[in-house]
Amino acid sequence: MTAGPTQEERDRSFHRIQKYYGGFKEWDRLERADDGALEFTVNKAWIARFLPPAGARVLDLGGGPGRYSLWLAEQGYRVTLADLSPDLLEIARQQSKPSGVDLEAIVEANALDLSQFGDASFDAALCMGPMYHLIDRDDRAQAARELHRVVKPGATVFVAFLNRLQLLKVAISPEIPFSPETFEFVKRWLEDGIFISPALGLFADAHFVHPQEVSPVMEAAGFKAIDLISSESLVDAVQKNLVAFKERQPDLYPWLLEKLIAVANDPSIVGSAGHLLYIGRKR
């Protein structure tokens, strides 16, 4: 295995994350049919299965511009949106106005330090980005412990991870110039899951996890796994085809989408996921 992240890489990644997610990038991604719209749809369907009744307090940690927060608020939940970026939080405030719903709180917070929240403050929590942008193992463990601390016993959490195995698909993409010159970069990405972006704007620095590593990370913090799903089900690489199918077969599309959601936790599909969603309960 190669070396873990240096202190310089850890410090620099914090600023790169804030810069990468500036503006409406993530807000727009989750509605693009060939990118994040399916992920958003599948995640919402699975999250809804395990949420407590409406009226419960939910933390959306690392929720950025508030896509999930506003959806939850529309369902009657009392939502606290917390993120590193004041710019993204301002977008959430702007977007809440036309939606006609209010968030209980919008606060700036770091997943490593949730001291502004008391123990057992929330009935459920989403953590849809922080765990895959913490490139140091100890930082990920700390974030999981903090998440565990602020939710109530028995609370359900929904935590997103990036799948390291997808690298072998990405390596053949023209977007990643896989060559002898970039081999060390790609090898580190595959062996240790550490992605240090070789160019600004390509992606924020991130950690990619093997699917089998997800539950142990969360269990060490005090959670018990309920399920692990592929957020894009089995069509991660062919979402454009799904868009075309919807146009050709509008009557059949709802049935197809229902089936894609239903099989999202099949182990044979989870292994090739782009985004993984861990669903667990605080012990």
Q: pLDDT (tens digit, 9 = 90+) per residue, 69-106?
A: 999 999 999 999 999 989 999 999 999 988 789 999 99
Choose between 187 and 228: higher pLDDT.
Answer: 228
Q: Residue 221: its pLDDT value, please? A: 98
What is the Cβ-side half-sphere exposure of residue 123, based on CA atoms within 13 angstroms? 13
Q: Residue 195: its pLDDT value, please? A: 81
**β-pair partners for 124:** 58, 156
Choose between 143 and 178: higher pLDDT.
Answer: 143
Q: Which domains does the chain have, with CATH numbers?
A: 7-282 (3.40.50.150)
Q: Are strands 275-282 and 223-230 parallel, antiparallel or unpaired?
A: antiparallel
Confidence check: pLDDT of 1 > 60: no
Confidence check: pLDDT of 30 > 90: no
Residue range 118-124: mean pLDDT, rounded: 98
Question: Whose CA is closest to 186, among 204, 217, 208, 214?
Answer: 208
Q: Residue 178: its pLDDT value, please? A: 62
Residue range 46-62: mean pLDDT, rounded: 98
Return mean pLDDT, the chain: 88
Confidence check: pLDDT of 18 > 70: no
- Taking each helix axis from N to C terminus, what angle separates 37-50 and 253-262, rounded to the nearest 10 degrees? 60
Q: pLDDT (tens digit, 9 = 90+) per residue, 166-218?
A: 877 766 666 666 666 677 777 787 888 888 776 656 677 889 999 999 999 99
